[in-house]
Amino acid sequence: MTSTSKTAFHTTQAPQPAGPYSQGVEANGFFYTAGFGPQDPATGAVPDTAADQTRQVLRNVQTILAERGLTMDDCVKTTVHLANLADFTEFNEAYKEFFSEPYPVRTTVGSQLANILVEIDVVAVVPAGK
């Protein structure tokens, strides 16, 4: 059995982990992020609407991707948790501002979230030589 090499990434420019987990981990050519919420990393403020929370979540995701030298164009998979699936259209309009074709595959589920409307994690491919 071979051991998987993994490297954790952390930045103070994104919300800090609320438990024993990394903000991002690279392993075997992929970069995985934690599920990020909509907290502003500087103030802790949370926007009111699902669209604005989606934008802040994806800015938080962009920050940890950038720590590894990646962008949203490197994302191949996203998992989205919505506190209220009735917010899907509003979420989706904001979400598409951050991605271009070919879009990453996506799973969107209704979840019980702690005082937020949106949480998102991504999987990105680390380009060869990067």
Predicted pLDDT of residue 130: 76
Residues with pLDDT less than 70, the chain: 1-3
Domains, the chain, ranges and CATH? 23-125 (3.30.1330.40)
Length of the chain, in residues: 130
Please state the pTM of the whole predicted model: 0.94
Amino acid at 91: F
CA 80, chain centre distance (Å): 9
CA distances from 78 to 3, 4, 43 (A): 26, 22, 26
Predicted pLDDT of residue 128: 85
Predicted pLDDT of residue 2: 57
